[in-house]
Amino acid sequence: MPAKPPPARNPLQGGSAAVVLRGVGKRYRREAGGYRLRTLKSALLEGSLTSGLAAADAVEALEDVSFEVAAGEAVGVIGGNGSGKSTLIKLVAGLLRPTAGELAVNGRVAALIELGAGFHPEISGRENIFINGALLGLSRRRIEERYDDIVEFAGLSDFIEEPIKNYSSGMYVRLGFSVAIHTDPEILLVDEVLAVGDEEFVHRCITRIEEHLAGGGTLLFVSHSMGLVEELCDRAVWLDRGRSRAIGSPRRVIDAYLEDVAKREGEAHDRSRTRGVQGEEPPPEEEEEAAATAPAAEEAVLRWGSGQARIVGARLLAGTSSEERYHVHCGEPVAFELQVEPREDLDDFVFGVGVKTPRGVDCWGTNTDLAGYEPRLLRGPVRVRLVCPELRLAPGEYTVDLAVHARDGRAYDYRRRALRFTVAESSALRSIGLYLPDHEWQVEAVRGGAADGAAARQAAIDWLLPADANNGGGPANAGHKAGAPSDPRRME
């Protein structure tokens, strides 16, 4: 899927910037029935098919986007579907021209943009390698020198003589990435195509991208995988409905994006609950908005059970004020709330909550039976809360399973992925993994070591405690040495 280098442009004043965007916009003319069509005469007179269009006749795919990508920098682009990410990448690749603003690209570009882009389906993989290499400026001799490496990296030696119309989506990606990365681009553009590759090949691609960056290459990376963006990129850009909402460190921008997604999901959850009570159907525009802003993970809520009791409501309450919201910080107090209505009197009942990653990895779960509560009688509607004084989950996205069931496990009502929430990093709680337990570091001097003898009464270790480091250190904090005679914290 490599794209040809963009046409030569006058570089803007951007120092060592590889990509410079200033007030860039891209407008498309609506083509649906009922919208006014431009004539060839009007386009020739005005120099554009989109200038002069009324707002109702045009779509602003991008509007007033400005940022720079320094040479050797990796920048991730995130946002919901339809936010303008792919349009931005195509502009940088030279496949589209902006309708407003200025754009400069300084360097040789290779782009992985659309599945199958740049390939002819009727000819073989081998022939497509030579055609794409030529389009990217490589001589036939250079392509022949790299041909074996391209095929080996793609892992398609058994299929390289087959017409690529017979290739799977993953095979397209393999060949496209292999050709692109072996052209030694200065600027690599990647637009979500790695999502269709298998796990082993994706790892190989990531390793090659890291090698590209280590060699001074530049990366513009579009992805719905927040983990990959944080792992690979130095900065991130959040696009929302064609405009840049945030630019900065990946963790900060991702947190802002996920908080916005959680806010919209919470609002949709409120509307859904209200409509459920009133028996209304969601309006089409809300369904379209949900499709555009929801993350790519599967959203279906699975449900099963005998129906002897039903979960009729669920909320996530966060903070000291127990407000309903679905974006929390690590270590913040939360409560998982479920409202249950029995259809008959029950003397055997258990309430349960399970927290998982979007891929189904169990993070934490419990129920009233495990906690030692003995059921006696459930005869009317109840509101049950599982309160966590500190939710110590690592930053990321999570789903919540809710259940009411018998003690032997028979489900009355089991709702899988009933809630979804995101956790942002806390400045006071940082770690690696899914769970951050309460912990502390302890140290003591070891007798009989190499430092024993003449230096026995000298400090074995010298460091600042976190509270002291936050206060800026200084003379009052200089004596925190485990094993030092003058240190009251010493351990001997």
The mean of the pLDDT values for the chain is: 78
Residues 325, 318 contacting (CB under 8 angstroms): yes
Q: Residue 53 and residue 199: Cα distance in Å, rounded?
A: 46
Give the model confidence (pLDDT) of 218-249 as tens digits: 999 998 888 889 889 999 999 999 999 999 99
pLDDT of 174 above 70: yes
β-strand 411-424 against 327-329: which pairing, if any?
parallel
One-letter amino acid of 478: A
pLDDT of 484 above 50: no
Residues 331, 392 contacting (CB under 8 angstroms): yes
- pTM, rounded to two decimals: 0.61
Lookup result for tokens 């349960």: 352
Q: CATH fold of 17-248, please?
A: Rossmann fold (3.40.50)
Strands (E), 10-117: 17-29, 58-70, 74-78, 100-105, 109-112
The string of DSSP letters for 293-354 reads: HS-SS----EEE--SSEEEEEEEEEETTTTEE-SEEETT--EEEEEEEEESS-BSS-EEEEE
The string of DSSP letters for 345-378 reads: -BSS-EEEEEEE-TT--EEEEEETTTTTPPP--B
Average pLDDT over residues 394-408: 91
- Total number of residues shown for the chain: 492
Residue 334's closest CA among 364, 312, 374? 364
Q: What is the dihedral of CA 214, 220, 221, 222, to 10 degrees?
A: 180
User: Looking at residue 338, what is its pLDDT?
Assistant: 94
The DSSP call for residue 408 is T
Residue 353's closest CA among 304, 400, 407? 400
Give the model confidence (pLDDT) of 315-360 as tens digits: 999 999 999 988 888 889 999 999 999 999 999 999 999 999 888 8
User: Looking at residue 238, what is its pLDDT?
Assistant: 95
Residues 303, 417 contacting (CB under 8 angstroms): no
> Residue 62 to residues 24, 27, 104: CA-CA distances in angstroms?
7, 7, 16
pLDDT of 489 above 80: no
HEC string for 430-459: CCCCCECCCCCCCCCCCCCCCCCCCCCCCC
pLDDT above 90 coverage of the chain, percent: 35
CATH superfamily of 302-424: abc- transporter (atp binding component) like domain (2.70.50.60)
Domain map (residue ranges) of the chain = 17-248, 302-424, 440-492
Residues 425, 455 contacting (CB under 8 angstroms): no
The DSSP call for residue 138 is -
Lowest mean pLDDT among 150-154, 174-178, 333-337, 402-406: 174-178
- Side by side, which strands form the sheet with 323-324? 323-324, 309-318, 334-342, 382-388
Q: Residue 10 and residue 257: Cα distance in Å, rounded?
A: 34
How crowded is the C-beta side of 453, counted as CA atoms within 13 Å? 4
Residues 34, 150 contacting (CB under 8 angstroms): no
Average pLDDT over residues 80-92: 91
Residue 454 in tokens: 């003449």
Residue 77's closest CA among 289, 222, 193, 272? 222
H/E element, 222: strand 218-222
The SS3 assignment for 391 reads coil
User: Looking at residue 297, what is its pLDDT?
Assistant: 37
Q: Residue 396 and residue 432: Cα distance in Å, rounded?
A: 12
pLDDT of 140 above 60: yes
Q: Residue 433 and residue 328: Cα distance in Å, rounded?
A: 17
Maximum C-alpha span of the chain: 96
The SS3 assignment for 281 reads coil
Strand-pairing partners, residue 22, are 102
Higher-pLDDT residue of 439 and 120 is: 120
Give the model confidence (pLDDT) of 270-325 as tens digits: 666 555 545 555 555 554 444 444 443 333 348 889 999 999 999 999 999 999 98
